[in-house]
Amino acid sequence: MSDLLTKVREGLRPPAAAGSGAGSGRWLVPVVWLAIGLALLAFPFYLETFWLRTGLLAMAAAIGAIGLNMLSGSTGQLSLGHAFFLAMGAYGYCVLAGDPDGPATGLGLPPLLAVVLAVLLTGVAGGLFSPIAGRLRGAYLGIATLALIFIGQHVLFNAHDLTGGFNGRVVPRLEVFGFVFDAERIVVAGVPFQAMEKLWYVGLVLLLGCVLFARGVLRGRPGRAMNAIRDHQIAAGVMGVPVARYRGMVFVISSMYAGLAGVLLALVFERTVPTYFSIVLSLEYLAMIVIGGLGSVGGAVLGATFVSMTPLILTRYSEALPLVTAPGTGGGFAPGEVSRFLYGGAVVAAVLFLPGGLARLPAAWRARQRARRPAGEAGPDTQRNEEVPR
């Protein structure tokens, strides 16, 4: 028996060369992330305002997509009302931080406090809806959340004192401990910093915090319970998982993520308008998590970057692209239409050929590389389970 155990251990032990390669691979990942982090920190010193605004919109979309992915991708709950909570966060901040003497209702609270209260407000709204979210699933929950969009659109267009009606309302500037994130220039290392440059670092901090929190939830006991509910609700209940409570809890967390994304969107746009927060926005968020990868935090960020940046880039370079024309000029396809064609094609491609979305690409590439190797030259990663990054 001891000889047999010795042979098994020797068979499972990777070769020395392979082990050294694995060690170098472990060092490569932190180096890549460090390079990405340094590049993100340096972007305001080199990029023009258009790219900074586009990046900030992608950050806001990523925050909202992470919240929706926790609900739909990890827990299996379909929601079509994500735009409602985005609007609630955006307009909630405007009302809480708005000028009391302005044309629209405002409470005049400190902007930082208004951000926190706006996120909590969306969490309360999600909590009021959570009993329904805890008992419905699939298409039934999707239809129920769709009602939130119609209710929200009616309120946004008709509650003129709160929302400004069709023309929307101006967004108050963010101020943190006396530092105002406005268009007033300050020079940093010889580079003039204005509103977008200042907000860039706010967006990075918020996105990083949301990513770390979501990864912690999904990798811990709550994440395992959410996945059990998604994969087999009855089995999860038999194992002692409180299904309704977890569904309601995740719906509240997803709502708060959407509220924070709405606040950041409002700060970037500098004006909120009700037409932006329509059913189309909810469908775009669903496209983000499908393209990026259901249940993956990194996939949500990748999908949000693709979906949010595509129409803006197409609009900027519409004159140089065939069959794409600037909005309102005619003679071709508008950038918004082309971007929706691309979303649809990307969703179909992800469903048919890459079920794990963009987050699955590294694992798929490694699997293809192993398949091309001769049987006796398989690397040490053949023994490792491939997982979608979370």
- The secondary structure of 83-116 as a DSSP string is HHHHHHHHHHHHHHHS-TTSSS------HHHHHH
Express each pLDDT in 315-374 by its tens digit: 888 777 777 777 666 667 778 788 888 888 888 888 888 888 888 887 777 777 777 766
- For the purposes of burial, counting CB atoms within 10 Å of the CB of 167, is it exposed (0-12), middle (13-18) or buried (19 or more)? exposed
- Please provide the DSSP assignment of 352-382 as one string: HH-TT-GGGHHHHHHHHHHHHS-GGG--GGG
Q: What is the average per-residue pLDDT within 379-390?
A: 47
Q: Tell me what the pLDDT averaged over the chain comes to.
A: 83
Q: What confidence score (pLDDT) does residue 5 get? A: 39
Rounded Cα distance between 181 and 112, Å, is: 11
Q: What confidence score (pLDDT) does residue 374 get? A: 63
Q: Where are the domains of the chain?
A: 35-278
Q: Is the pLDDT of residue 375 over 80?
A: no
Q: Is the pLDDT of residue 383 over 80?
A: no
Q: Sorting pLDDT into bands at 50, 70 and 90, what band is 155?
A: very high
Q: What confidence score (pLDDT) does residue 272 get? A: 92
Q: What is the average per-residue pLDDT within 194-208?
A: 91
Express each pLDDT in 102-136 by its tens digit: 888 889 899 999 999 999 999 999 999 888 888 88
Task: Please tell me the pTM assigned to this model.
Answer: 0.86
Rounded Cα distance between 91 and 33, Å, is: 35
Rounded Cα distance between 16 and 33, Å, is: 27
Provide the percentage of residues in the chain whose pLDDT is more than 90: 40
Max Cα distance, the chain (Å): 86
DSSP one-letter code for 70: I
Helix residue ranges, H only, 98-168 = 111-135, 138-158, 160-163
Under a CB-based contact definition with an 8 Å cutoff, are residues 226 and 246 in contact?
yes
